[in-house]
Structure 1
Amino acid sequence: MGVEEEYLLVTPEGEPAAQSPAVLGLAAREVPRTDEPGGDVEKEFKSEQVETSTRPCTDLGELLGEIRAGRERVDTLAQGVGVRIAALGTAPQAIDPTVIPDKRAGEIRARFGLTAHEQLTCGCHVHVSVADDEEGVRILDHLRPWTSVLLALSANSPAWQGVASGYASYRSQVWGRWPTAGPTAPFGDAAGYRAVVDGLLASGTILDDGMLYFDARLSQRYPTVEVRVADVCLDAADAALQAALVRALADTAVATPVDPVPPRVEVLRTAAWRAARSGLAGELVSPLTWRPARASDVVDQLVDHVRDALVANGDLEAVERQLAEVRRRGNGAIEQMAWRARGDDDAAVVRRATQRTLGAPALVA
């Protein structure tokens, strides 16, 4: 398993900064750590953000170390050009973001207008290895009901363009404007997946298969399933929690008969909206009953669903410990709103987030 994270680039004062070309320039001078995939600092769609990735890991503790090391590395690079990183799903401030100087990005901006222009959002993507595309599609179809719970756990974007959005994850609402974003119907098998992809490409709407922005998809770069539904997490341990749960869902999918009556996309979209709206602070739609239930109970349902896989992977104790921590202090959205309640303005929220991103207490004068 591996994790990709996107971060905002911000000034020490807490304002977004269009400095990714400069940060990437410094990263390009470094000697690669290994020949393994991952471990890179990469561009994203906007100059106010940057992405890192871990190397493939089997041990959860090792993965957490990789996530933390990636954050420290890119923050050190960012400081070399006078900025920092902040693991926030959206910038709190009103901002007119800058598309990176890249031909493909320019084509997306021209084709998708305001949707592309406003798209300054940061997510967390989890990769789990698969034997082949058939196994990958089996996993995609199985985890469909549970992606809304992953979103609720990670929700970390309550503000948008200088105002409180009323959502725990407004990033997911902004991201949902893309024509291929969100939950999918069951694909059935690899041929079914490819038929959907071919149809979307044939429509002439998206540029290429890199614009398949499904909540979960087969990776174009690696032999993995890539789960893309989560906001970037303030706490590195919450990102590792996402990875452990996704790997457990994948292992459970391989060991579980195919659901003869899979939920419809309309139901999944409703569950995702509910998760985005209230995160862990209210009710979620239970994937077992498709009725509202307390968020904590729905999280417990997810853990029960994948318990055997968590035990087999040696992850159950760590997952339960981290979930207890999340229940104690909340997800990123809850933390941000608590800072607001104590009087923090936009810039102070960003400064606190920078400290949390690097593992320090969020103390700001």
Structure 2
Amino acid sequence: MNEQTGDVLTFGIEEEFFVVDRRGHLSQAGDDVVDAAEAAEDVQGELQHELNLSQAEAATGVCRTHAEALRQLGGLREDLARAARARGYRLLPAGAPPMSEVDPPRITPNPRYQRMAEHFGATAWTSLTCGCHVHVAIPDKESGIRVLGRVRPWLPALLAVTANSAIVDGYDTGYASWRYHQWSRWPSAGPPPRFASLDEYESVVDGWLRAGAILDRAMVYWDVRLAEKQPTLEFRISDVAATPAEAVLLGVLARGLVATALADDRPPPELSNEVLRGWLWRASREGPTGCCPDPRTGDLRPAASVLGELVSLTAPALEAAGDLEFARDGLARLTAEGGGADRQRRAFEKKKRAADVVDLLAGDA
């Protein structure tokens, strides 16, 4: 998915979606929709099956500009949405299902997924979440460990950017990203520690494997991790974005952070996982229009101010990649108009109907 070209890091974005019926309830048609969309001509990127039959996944190819990523994400979403509509379904970019479901969807009939379901039980059966993953090129794994330590304090701000799971199971959860809490039930999920070396990172992964807390290395679900198959650092903290533009905003901010961290020779900041978990809880509760802990002080500040500091910190890298104006404009819209969770709440408040949230996200409102 990724490579490093010249002075500008390449990046790629993966998005997970629900496939729902006309009423907004989870379907069992994710595999059929993916297969049909894959058969279409001129698909840019990759379409993939997911853990549950209610889901579909899309991944860009290697991207060098935000315009390229935006074009690919928009095209992939349209390919999946078209295939879903042709079969009487809808594509839903939501971090968690807005509608209340009586029974969880079936696990996709894939040997690995079936093994996960047998081993992890209800954690796998009820894992009804859709995320957005950003891959950013790194020179090597040792550099990745150093970068991981430097980006950890900014994870709450990144979580706030695409928070998009406020209305879940038919009610307002009180959180902008309820998905983050649902996903955290996996034993390997959550913020990564501050690692002193690649060996320390590998020792934790090995310990999980020995304990059966993960079945393979692809199940390392930290909020940011070394990717297993690509030479990238993978940010996994975020809800699937309500719009492609918000997903790409997340992508360019993550790329800017990695580029900035690579150029910084100072030791990563000291930050305990216990404190970081508290910061992430606050960011998941409030999203981009609430408050967020300041990565430097830990004090609560408006998320808009913290995100503004993120752009200022990464401005040289954003400008070098041609992303600075895009990032500033995107954050201005996000903090002024709200993100996916804010729009979910506005749709829900009118009649207290989760179906209205589905209509909004599926583009039918």
Normalised by the length of structure 2, the TM-score is 0.92
RMSD between aligned alpha carbons? 1.6
Residue pair 2:18, 2:30 contacting (<8 A) in 1 also: no
Shift of 1:344: 5.5
- What does the per-residue CA deviation read over 1:282-324, in whole Å, with 9 as the maximum and x for residues that have no partner? 2211101011111111111211221221122121111001111
Equivalent residue, structure 1, for 2:23: 13
How many angstroms does 1:248 deviate by? Answer: 0.3
Equivalent pairs, count: 353
In the TM superposition, residue 260 of structure 1 has moved relative to its aligned partner by 5.4
Q: Closer, same or farther in 2 for the Cα pair 1:189/1:31, shift >3 Å?
A: farther
1:288 has 2:296 as partner: yes
Q: Which residue of 2 aligns with 1:97?
A: 104
1:44 to 47, 50, 53: 50
Give distance in 1, aligned partners of 2:353 and 2:123.
27
- Gaps of at least 5 residues in structure 2 are 1-10
CA contact (8 A) 1:45 1:105 kept: yes
From 280, 284, 288, give the equivalent of 1:276.
Answer: 284
Could you tell me the percent identity over the aligned residues?
37
Partner of residue 122 from structure 1, selected from 130, 133, 138: 130
Deviations 1:60-88 (A, max 9, x none): 11111111011011112222322121111
1:359 equivalent in structure 2 = none
1:108-155 superposed Cα distances (whole Å, 9 cap, x missing partner)? 222222222211100000011111111222221111010110101111
Tell me, in whole angstroms, the C-alpha distance in 1 between the residues paired with 2:40 and 2:74: 18
Aligned counterpart in structure 1 of residue 61 of structure 2, from 55, 58, 66: 55
1:131-142 mapped onto 2 (5 Å cutoff): 131-142=139-150
**How many angstroms apart in 2 are the aligned matches of 1:66 and 1:24?**
16
**Secondary structure class of the residue paired with 1:222:** coil
**8 A Cα contact 1:15 1:350, kept in partner:** no
Query: In structure 2, what is the equivalent of residue 241 of structure 1?
Result: 249
Instruction: Give the residue type in structure 1 aligned to 2:163.
Output: A
SS at match of 2:98: coil
Within a 5 Å distance, the mapping from 1:153-232 to structure 2 comes to 153-232=161-240
Partners in 2 of 1:260 and 1:215 — Cα distance? 17
Asked if 1:79 is matched to 2:85, the reply is: yes
Match of 2:314 in 1: 306
Aligned to 2:7: none
The TM-score with structure 1 as length reference comes to 0.92
Shift of 1:92: 1.0
